[in-house]
Amino acid sequence: MQDSLFRRIEDKQNDLVALTCDLIRFPTVNPPGEAYTPCAEFLGERLRKRGFEVSYHRAEGVVGDSDKYPRTNVVARIEGGRPGPCVHFNGHIDVVAAGGGWSVDPFNPLVRDGKVYGRGACDMKGGIAASVIAVEALLEEADGFAGALEISGTVDEESGGYGGVGYLAQQGFFSRPRVDHVIIPEPLNVDRVCIGHRGVWWAEIETQGRIAHGSMPFLGDCAVRHMGAFLQRLESELYPALAAKRTAMPVVPEGAKQSTLNINSLHGGLSEDFEGLPAPMVPDSCRMIIDRRYLIEEDPAQVKNEVVAILESLKHDREGFEYALREVLAFQPTMTDPDAPVVRAVSAAIQEVLGRPAQQVVSPGTYDQKHIVRVGHLEDCIAYGPGILDLAHQPDEYVGIDDMIASAKVMASATLALLDRARAG
């Protein structure tokens, strides 16, 4: 069956390219969450015509949702006729803003030299299209399979996924017994299986001071200098400590195998949007957002404590040092067991289709797997899809057509194995 399934996928190449282009034409830019509903309905309509039961789920009341920018998700399901496991393909339909530097129109896709160009081609409309073609080929090939197949198009992945997979997970869409195996066709390169991601902790730290005339700073207390003292301690203490923490997770790229901290933004004193000359003032507030990425070996409480300990010690030692800390975002690391069914099935399919062993990797940043594992409590989840990770969010983003065909074969073959595995068991 494999040969004819693979041939069927090859025969669908034009359909695959056209579907990718159609998806790119919806400018689903997030923020603010443009064109979500028509894009979700386009995907849903296609699958409904092929016999799927299709439903739409607006994440009402979730951050970002409004009548102008509704958070519309689509879930499509088809039953195989006999009981069995459910394999689910989840793709996010949102893309980041085009930005500058494009040599082609980001929302008018271009097919050239075996590639499809456009915003979202790689991250991840090419992946969604490949999974749709894989499932459609499988349905044409395997009449009356055991189990169920699902495809979802979800929103807001680029902004945390609360209105997308996070919302659906809360409604039970990513839990057993409804779903057993999830594949997220994110662009992780066609021969790599991504089994999880590092943790993330964002916090806003404010140092406080006292306002005064800039010519007499001794009458006030400069919040920016207090922040400077904190930054110094990060340099001398925290950064070396983080660099020394190494993980056994197979994180790529190599630099992300350690704990990291990014200073996301820093603002103190006068706002930057005034016209003319600045007024002489001592800043009474300085705010900084930190973006801490951590390893599965680390305790989330400890991640926070390391920062708090420095702030507390400054409060003790440095005259006038006052601070406030506000947690902005937190997701724990997740890593699927390398021996889990979906990892084995996709790895075996990569070997079969590409003739080389699959590489198992962990992503430096988070993606929607966190909601599926933490909220849905479904462990058997990976990211696998076409496209080169480094091209995501870049100008002139593209996806290779050969890669899409290869990954569609891998997804179809892995799905067959996951369904068959249940029958054998």
Residues that bind Zn ion (CB under 5 A): 123-124, 186
Cβ atoms within 10 Å of 300's Cβ, excluding its own: 15
Residue 233 has which token pair?
Answer: 């301690």
- Shortest approach of Zn ion to residue 154 CB, angstroms? 11
For Zn ion, the closer CB: 123 or 380: 123
CB atoms within 10 A of CB 141: 18
Question: Minimum distance from CB of 89 to Zn ion (Å)?
Answer: 14
Between 153 and 269, whose beta carbon lies closer to Zn ion?
Answer: 153
Residue closer to Zn ion (CB basis): 121 or 142: 121
Give the nearer residue to Zn ion in terms of CB position, either 154 or 208: 154
> Closest CB to Zn ion belongs to which residue?
123
Find the shortest distance in angstroms from Cβ 95 to Zn ion. Answer: 8
Cα–Cα distances (Å) from 19 to 10, 42, 399, in that order, read: 15, 10, 13
| Cβ proximity of 164 and 40 under 8 Å | no
Q: How far is the CB of 22 from Zn ion (least distance, A)?
A: 18
Return the number of the residue (186 or 298) whose C-beta is nearest Zn ion: 186
- Comparing CA positions, the residue from 3, 21, 13 lying closest to residue 125 is 21
Looking at the Cβ atoms of 155 and 422, the one nearer to Zn ion is 155
- Helix (H) or strand (E) holding 309, with range, is helix 300-317
| Residue 117: CB minimum distance to Zn ion, A | 17
Nearest to 317 by CA among 226, 386, 422: 226
Asked if residue 185 has a cis previous peptide bond (ω within 30° of 0), the answer is no
Give the whole-angstrom CA distance, residue 135 versus residue 364: 29
CA distance 303 to 212: 36
Rounded to a whole number of angstroms, the minimum distance from the CB of residue 239 to Zn ion is 29
Handedness of CA 51, 344, 4, 386 (dihedral sign): positive
| CB 140, min distance to Zn ion, A | 28
Round to whole Å and give the CA distance between 227 and 230: 5
Q: Which of 130, 160, 167 is nearest to 56 (CA)?
A: 167
260/363 with CB nearer Zn ion:
363
